[in-house]
Every structure is written in structure tokens, then in C-alpha cells.
Amino acid sequence: MIYLDNSATTKPHPEVMDSFYQAATTFFGNPSSVHRLGMDTERLLRKARHQAASLLQVKDEEVFFTSGGTEGNNLAIKGIALQHQTRGKHLITTTIEHPSVLEAFRSLEELGFSVTYIQVDKNGTINIDQLKQALSQETILVSVMHVNNEIGTIQPIEEIASIVSAYPKAFLHVDHVQGFGKVHLPLNQLAIDLCTISGHKIHGLKGTGIMYKRKGVTLFPLSHGGGQEQSIRSGTENVPANVALVKAMRLIHEQMEQNKQRLEALKGRIIQKLQTMDQVVVNTPSPAAPHIVNFSLPGIKPEVMIHALEEDDIYISTKSACSSKSADESAVLAACGHRRKITESGLRISMSYETTEADIDYFLVKLAEAYDKLSKVMR
């Protein structure tokens, strides 16, 4: 099997599964319990948090375990809006965010908040001038993803953070789900207030994640109860899952240091081949994240190509697996200003550090064969 849908989810690493099993069977106590088993589990949780903080180069108390990117994004966005609405009710995001961000903002609009959706250029890069014009003394939150999950665009977060920091009422949230482990984001060096990470995008388990919250930032909790996670996210902690997440974070960090250039080379190999194929349009800009290549085959339905490749045990995708947009069109490609025939025929290849040169070469051969066959049928 050649799996090239890693932006949707990744295969859990064996070491991650081992960490989860060992923690689940040995440290199964409730970390809030006062007996020895509970206290041992609580110590393991503290250790996991410290390790995560070390990898992110932030303080332990700035790390909050969540169930993944969707919860983290909702908690950051709604938590800021509800907590600080007396200071202003204006929010800013972009037109190409993940559905968990866009839908969170739309829900806040129903509660009376005003949202500005910043446009992007053909490469998916935010319009900085529009951001500057949109910011005001009423703005309390700006939310911009680091790496786009469909086309791989890397947003200029350093510049955005510098601009937003001039507005003391405004907080900056960064969705780092697609970037973590592939594109470095120095949280300790930038004026980022909140940041979200998901475990199942980095060979961890589904239902795991982290929200970074800079010390001093206050949020309105979305769940109330026993006061776990500094009362930001009440509920008994899933310690085995959190331990497994931190293992995945450590492993992906090591792989990024060792294999990022190899991944970049594989991406270049794919793009070079695609550019030789008649009428194929490469949608991923340059530079961009090293693991994502998005392209369109005008006139061919993406689902048809996906199923054709599936017959050869090759797995790619169309757009975000979480997209709530019409199945006929990529909302991201549309926001970039592409023509309908491009937005309706987009395909996404997303690699991992486990992807090999042989995998890519075989995929490219089978893609060319399927494209040639389907093109003749369409004629």
C-alpha cells in the first residue's frame, strides 16, 4: 500500500501505540485521586506536560491537553471571544481556514460578533494590507493558520504577529495542525497567544491534541466541571493518550531534523513530473510546506482518479477530509481565485517522513497511466 493522504490522518507509530498501552495498563488511576495509584498517574501526566513544553520551548503551565485540532481551535476562538467581549466584538480570520475555525467564527456571528474574513492571493497567502485595514480598537482576536491543509501555503506568521501585537486588545491564534513537525514555528520567539496541534496528523492517536496558551491569557471555558487543565478544560484527563501524543511529538521532531530535506526532494520530484503532463495544473505555490502537493486535472472528476489509483493500492485525496463545502468544489482553491474547472478537479498528495522514493515513483507511473486512460475516455 502507498498511502499519500497524511494530511487527513497518519498511521500511528508503533512506539506511540506501545506508550499508550503501557500507560493505560499501568497508570490507569484517576489523576485526581489521592491514593498512590492516582498520584502516580498524576505524576506521569505532569511529566508528559513537561516533555511537551520542552519540545515546544514554552512553559509547562502553557500546555493544555485537548482531544485534537477541532476542540483546540474552538476552545481558543470561542474562549477568547466570550471572555473578552466587553473589550470589543470584532474578530478576524481568513477565507481559507479549516472548517473547525470557519464554523467557530460563523457561530460567533450568530451571537452578535462581527467577523472580517481576510482574502488571499492566488498562492493562498493572506492579504497583509487588508489585515492592517481590518484591525481596530474593537478587534479582540485574529486567527490565521500556519500551513494550509489543502495546498500547503505557509503564512507569514512572524509578520502577522508583529502587526497584531500593536493592538493590545487583540489576541493572535495560530492553527498549527498541518505545520507541526514539518514547518518550524518558534512559539517562544513570536507574539502568539494561542496555538493548536493535533496528534493524529503526526502519527499519534486520534482524539489527542494540545492547545498552547501563553501565560496571562484568559479564556472562557467551554466545559465546566472538576477544574482539570487549570479549569480551562474540565474532565478526567486521558493520561495514556496524552503520553502517546508526547511520544509522537518527540518522534516527529526527530524526523523533521533528519528527513525534511528528503521530503522536500520527493515533493520536487512530484511537481516536476506533474508539470510535464498535458493540461495538469499545479496549485501548490513555491515555497510551501514540504509534504503537500495539490494539483488539478481539468475535465476529470477527482473521485474517479482517486478510485482508479485505489485499484493499485494507492491512496490520495481531494481536499480537506473535514471540509463542509460542496463536494463539487474546493473552497480553498476558489478563495485563491482559480477558475471553476480548476476548483472542481483538485487532488491532494500529502506525504509523511515514511514516504519513500520508490513509493513516489510508482505513484507517478500509475497516475500517468490513469490520467492517459481517463483523458481518452473523457474525449
Same domain? For 116 and 177 the reply is: yes
Q: Under a CB-based contact definition with an 8 Å cutoff, are residues 17 and 244 in contact?
A: yes
Same-domain pairing of 154 and 302:
no
Question: Radius of gyration of the chain from Cα atoms?
Answer: 21
Residues 316, 231: one domain?
no
Model confidence pLDDT, tens digit, residues 283-322: 999 999 999 999 999 999 999 999 999 999 999 999 755 5
Tell me how many domains the chain contains: 2
109 and 241 part of one domain:
yes
CA angle 151, 174, 324 (to 5 degrees): 50
The string of pLDDT tens digits covering residues 351-373 is: 999 999 999 999 999 999 999 99
Q: Which helix (H) or strand (E) holds 305?
A: helix 302-310
Its pTM surpasses 0.75? yes
C-alpha cell belonging to residue 194 = 494561542
Does residue 194 sit in the same domain as residue 287? no
* pLDDT given for residue 325 in this prediction: 45
Is 187 strand, coil or helix?
coil
Q: Which residues are catalytic?
A: 322
Q: What domain range is 325 assigned to?
A: 2-7+260-378
Same domain, 244 and 264: no
Claim to verify: residue 147 and residue 274 sit in the same structural domain: no
Residue 255 domain-assigned (yes or no) = no
Residue 300 shares a structural domain with residue 183:
no
Does the pLDDT value for residue 379 go beyond 70? Answer: no
CATH code of the domain in which 323 resides: 3.90.1150.10
* Residue 134 and residue 270 in one domain: no
According to DSSP, the β-strands at 90-94 and 114-118 are parallel
